[in-house]
Structure 1
Amino acid sequence: MRAVNEVDQSRSELRLIWALCLASIVVYINLYAVQGMLPSIAEHFDVTGANATLILSVTSFSLAFSLLIYAVISDRIGRLAPIMVSLWLLVASNILLIYAKDFDALLMVRLLQGVLLAAVPAIAMAYFKDQLPASFLLKAAAIYIMANSLGGIGGRLMGGLLSQYCTWEQAMTVNFAVTLVGISIVTYLLPRRELKPEKTQTSIGVLAKIKQDVGGFIYHLTDNQMRLVYAIGGLAFMMMVNQFSFIQLHLMDEPYRFSRFAATLIFLCYLSGTLTSYFSAKWVVKFGALRLFKGALLVMLVGTLLTLIDTLPAIIIGFLLTASGFFLTHSCCNSFVAIRASTHRAKATSLYLCSYYLGAALGGPYLMLFWHQLEWQGVVIGSCGLITLLCVAIMRLTYHQSKTDDLAVRS
């Protein structure tokens, strides 16, 4: 009987892992498919290519702040319900995209979708921690991160392929069908029974709970080192993800004249970041986060400047380097937050992800100003401005770490 229960438990754990990984793939397909469709969106809704990048910015903006809300909700009512409700509402929202009549309507739907897309990234790791044994947690996290990467790459390539061969309505119908099938499978896989984490202070009032939640966020925001790491992650993503948006416009212009789908193949450069993420855990242990932050900054700077040569090999190598440097930075930020957060860990992570996606939201309008002046050369100049801010943040973090080390030695 005991062996049967263990087998059932193991199956339930595997179903949870694959369900959340598939949910993550569907979420990132929905988030990033439009990034591969920017030229098509500009043409269909009669806006400039640069203005079309706002479609990713508004979604990232609402997603960023929704992460904080889901972190609180899932602690109060559990993990399963918020994920399932948000995913099925996402399916329904894709119908609205098919019938969006103008660009303003499209932006409003994407703003709503940002709220719905936030549930899985906000809750998944906490869900794993609640339901899986500690020995299985790291493997589950590694598989989940790979799913994130595959969803992002797959979504962008799917968007480029659809924009090449389909009308807007046809493309969004395919996106709706993919989402519907994916979420149906997720619903089938997710275990119906949810092991509730142990609760303390069951008699605490509503106002006290709110105060406790707000206090958890404030606790981490008043930490100098946490604030700097949040800024580092946000600034790095602000630059990298939006560079990929504008390089598509550059590749479709003279002298390259790439097709819509061919331009999205630049997103395959993300794979260098996936490889870097795989090794980052070992590197953090061996070299420490600060040294890796500095190395990653240098790699991103070299990669960005290399694209100014403006040949296809130079652009590809430059983006391979930039993606690698960014994902190394992202991995270091994640590990730093996880190690430093001794309490209110879910809130610490949600604050980092909020800063991360807020950076993506602000990066589009910011780099657009430079694109309008000097096109791709302007984007490089704007990116160098962000790299300068990253350098300042890393230097400040180094200062605070050395100060902490000195106090530890004296005590």
Structure 2
Amino acid sequence: MGVVVIEAPRVGTPRVSAAVASAGLSSFALLYAPQPVLPQLAAAYRLDPGSASLAIGVATASLAVAVLPLAWVAGLAGRRRVIVWSVVVSAVIGLLLPLAPSFPVLLVMRGVQGVAIAGFAGVAAAYLADQVGPGRLAGAVGAMIAGNSVGGMLGRLGAGFAAGPLGWQGSMAAVAGVSLVCAVFTVVTLPRDDPRQPREEGHGSRDGRAAGGRMGMGLAGPVVVGAMAMGAFVALYNAAGFRLAEPPLSLAPAAASLVFLSYAMGTASSAAAGRLAGRMGRTPALVTALLVTVAGSVLTAHPSLPVIAIGFAVLTAGFFAAHAIANAWVTAEAPPEARGRAAGVYTLCYYLGSGVGGTAGGIVYGHAGWTWLIAMTSSWLLLAALAVLLTRRRKRLS
């Protein structure tokens, strides 16, 4: 039998958006906090840089692997419950990380933390769709991604600046403390699931297969955007520190880390992405955001430091707007009984793009330099824009 969807009265969007944005700030501050203190981790545990970077890689890999199973669990047990457990467990693990007696133990803890964060990352957009409805979804998802970008920026900057006086243990504990406060705010303010919302259908059921078929028709474009745009974005930021520290720029590490302030532009653009999509339409807005990202990337090839800084600000604004529109597109287009699965697929592709793109970017930069890195990432972004246009065309013809 088909699923009967009963529209429930919607909870106030500001309350829902604030709770989910706070969860995003907590989750992504924790996920990326070790990045600026990797040299201190390497010194503490006598590691080479590649081994130390596993503190990031293990967490993001475990997040990607856990997204779909946790999206399925949330469809059965309730999305609010999974989000609450996600933010609380990840913050508590963050407080325990500085006590790790060895690097292998720290990696195990980071893996568990990545799984916990996947509960928020893979479920939040579907939860918002249930709570605010399709008309206000783009704005709510934009607010969520704004919280994610603030968390990623503050986690990196906070850990980096606190590492001097507090050491890597103290800096990680400080980030985790702030994240725990955000988690408590989320627990207190996050509205309960509406019991009248449909549960996820099993993958093998007739309705589940039909929902999967309907999903595939209109979601290929935004899912490709999630993978390719995130891959391009991470590739550029992974190599940015090396480029800024090398001649002729030769910036000190503390000065080079200020590139993460560009995330503030992402915060603003993701929050405004819903209004942009409402005025232009989803497809033109998404393609425009991708082209802005390409333009910002090209600007970073200039030898002048102020122009490079502007380029990073522009590409960050474009990327986060594209991510917000694509993420909202996936959850709005998917049938209600398949929202969790659709959001999980998007998040899985997003983080797979991060891992593959970041690695490929490092290889290309190391062997061919910044110009070739821009050429590669720009081609990914243009292919993503083409996928969006082809998705719209195929949907019109269907």
Give the TM-score of the pair, scaled to structure 2.
0.81
* Structure 1 residue 150, shift from structure 2 partner: 1.9
- Equivalent in the alignment of 1:360: 354
Query: CA offsets, 1:263-305, max 9 Å, x none?
Result: 2221111222333334433433444444444443433333223
- Equivalent in the alignment of 1:323: 316
In structure 1, C-alpha distance between the alignment counterparts of 2:153 and 2:381, rounded to whole Å: 25
Q: Work out whether residues 242 and 363 of structure 1, in 8 Å CA contact, stay in contact via their aligned partners in 2.
A: yes
- Equivalent in the alignment of 1:211: 204
Letter in 1 for 2:76: R
Letter in 2 for 1:226: L
Moved more, 270-279 or 44-53: 44-53
Letter in 2 for 1:362: V
- Equivalent in the alignment of 1:6: none
5 Å-filtered alignment, 1:295-374, equals: 295-343=288-336, 344-374=338-368
Q: Work out whether residues 367 and 383 of structure 1, in 8 Å CA contact, stay in contact via their aligned partners in 2.
A: no
* Structure 1 residue 236, shift from structure 2 partner: 0.7
| TM-align CA RMSD | 3.5
Query: CA offsets, 1:67-87, max 9 Å, x none?
Result: 222221122112333233333
- Equivalent in the alignment of 1:77: 77
Q: Which runs of 5+ in 2 are unaligned?
A: 1-8
Query: Are 2:393 and 1:402 aligned?
Result: yes
Letter in 2 for 1:390: L
In structure 2, C-alpha distance between the alignment counterparts of 1:246 and 1:175, rounded to whole Å: 24
Query: Are 2:381 and 1:385 aligned?
Result: no
- Equivalent in the alignment of 2:3: none
Letter in 2 for 1:298: L
* Structure 1 residue 30, shift from structure 2 partner: 0.4
- Equivalent in the alignment of 2:152: 152
User: What fraction of aligned residue pairs are identical, expressed as a percent?
Assistant: 27
Q: Work out whether residues 54 and 365 of structure 1, in 8 Å CA contact, stay in contact via their aligned partners in 2.
A: no
In structure 2, C-alpha distance between the alignment counterparts of 1:309 and 1:274, rounded to whole Å: 25
Letter in 2 for 1:350: G
Secondary structure of residue in 1 paired with 2:202: helix
Q: Work out whether residues 297 and 387 of structure 1, in 8 Å CA contact, stay in contact via their aligned partners in 2.
A: no
Q: Which runs of 5+ in 1 are unaligned?
A: 1-8, 202-207
Moved more, 126-135 or 113-122: 126-135
* Structure 1 residue 369, shift from structure 2 partner: 1.6
Query: CA offsets, 1:146-176, max 9 Å, x none?
Result: 3223222211211221233332222223233
**Alignment CA distance shift 1:399-1:176 (3 Å):** closer
* Structure 1 residue 260, shift from structure 2 partner: 3.9
In structure 1, C-alpha distance between the alignment counterparts of 2:384 and 2:136, rounded to whole Å: 35
* Structure 1 residue 232, shift from structure 2 partner: 2.0
5 Å-filtered alignment, 1:226-265, equals: 226-265=219-258
In structure 1, C-alpha distance between the alignment counterparts of 2:304 and 2:134, rounded to whole Å: 48
In structure 1, C-alpha distance between the alignment counterparts of 2:11 and 2:291, rounded to whole Å: 45
Query: CA offsets, 1:18-66, max 9 Å, x none?
Result: 4433222111110122233344344444445466444333322222232
In structure 2, C-alpha distance between the alignment counterparts of 1:200 and 1:167, rounded to whole Å: 47
Letter in 2 for 1:70: L
**Alignment CA distance shift 1:336-1:370 (3 Å):** same
In structure 2, C-alpha distance between the alignment counterparts of 1:12 and 1:395, rounded to whole Å: 36
Q: Flag the structure with larger Rg.
A: 1
- Equivalent in the alignment of 1:276: 269
* Structure 1 residue 228, shift from structure 2 partner: 3.5
**Alignment CA distance shift 1:381-1:214 (3 Å):** farther
- Equivalent in the alignment of 2:120: 120
Secondary structure of residue in 2 paired with 1:118: helix
Q: Work out whether residues 26 and 180 of structure 2, in 8 Å CA contact, stay in contact via their aligned partners in 1.
A: no
Secondary structure of residue in 1 paired with 2:195: coil
User: When the two structures are aligned, how many residues end up with a matched partner?
Assistant: 388
Query: CA offsets, 1:87-137, max 9 Å, x none?
Result: 332234225521345554443332221110112233334444545688876
In structure 2, C-alpha distance between the alignment counterparts of 1:142 and 1:369, rounded to whole Å: 32
In structure 2, C-alpha distance between the alignment counterparts of 1:187 and 1:200, rounded to whole Å: 22
